[in-house]
Amino acid sequence: MDTDETRSVLVTGGRGFVGRAVAKLLQREGYEVVSLDASPIPTSAAGPWNDREVRCDLTDAEALLRVFEARHIRGIIHLAAILPTAAQRDPVRATQVNVDGSLNLLEQARRFGVGRMVFGSSLSVYGTRAAEQAVSETDQAAPEDLYGASKLYVEQLGAAYRQQFGLEFVSLRIGRVVGSGARSVSSAWRSEIFEFLGTRNATEIAVPYVGSERILLLHIDDVATMLVALVHAACPAHAIYNAVCESVVVDDLKRELERLNPNLGVKLGETHALGNPRRLDASRFRQEFGIQPLPIFEQLTRALHP
């Protein structure tokens, strides 16, 4: 959809961790960005596209209609969602936002002739898999929680809109995103492993998994690059892609962090990474788009020694 007439992109969840990175990258690449989020717009916000910040709850169909009426939106990156921990606490709200809100967005995309909608899905659609199994897009989905189930259902809604109305709907299934600035309460370690790298004081990071566990990680900048690549592509060959992630053994992550900075201590937990695969086949995306992220340990080294 890369033409002069199709460079206005709506980013839902635009003030979230991934949304902020995506919006910045889109703007650097010359797109007009409309950043939509249900959270209040920060009064301290500053930047060349802040007049494009919009506060809107996707469950409010009338408010969402007004957003589309007021702006010429040609592409969408849909990231807004109630995340797994909050979804478990409030399944009603999670269903309203993750499913009903997505349906509202699809309807406006259809009504206003949006060229392409890129959906930030999740590897949780696959459910738990054996440690030796590298999961590809052709493997059957089997989500084990409300969050994963809602992601899968929105993918199916997108497929229906693609078939019935010709809306280009493309899904990127994303693993655990790490990097500075997540502001997460339930998974603070994903940012702390970068933010605490340079500490001069004894500091402990709590990672909840057992040392033998494998987790699929990707850096915030890389997931933004992948999402924007899907918007930018003339014609993606597939409707679903696994994001290019790295399978990291938790014990190895602990050792590398403590090696990089002896002031850091990593305390491991006793849980297993259930609900997600441990290994991934992302060759579909890698071969089509030529994106190969730096290994996570190299990302950490560069963060410590920029």
Q: Kindly list the catalytic residues.
A: 147
SS3 category, 78: strand
The torsion defined by the Cα of 246, 222, 269 and 250, in degrees rounded to 10, comes to 30
Amino acid code (one letter) for 16: G
Give the pair of three-digit tokens for residue 135.
Answer: 């999961």
In the chain, DSSP assigns E strands to 8-12, 32-37, 53-55, 75-78, 116-122, 134-135, 168-174, 176-178, 203-209, 214-219, 240-242, 246-249, 264-271, 279-280
Residue 217 parent element (H or E): strand 214-219
**How many CB atoms are closer than 10 A to CB 238?**
11
The partner residues of 55 in beta bridges, in order of sequence, read 37
Backbone angles phi, psi at 260, to 5 degrees: -65, -35
Say if residues 209 and 248 touch (Cβ distance below 8 Å).
Answer: no
Question: How far apart are alpha carbons 301 and 306 in whole angstroms?
Answer: 8
DSSP per-residue string spanning 98-155: IIIIHHHHHHHHHHTT-SEEEEEEEGGGG----TT-EE-TTSPP---SHHHHHHHHHH
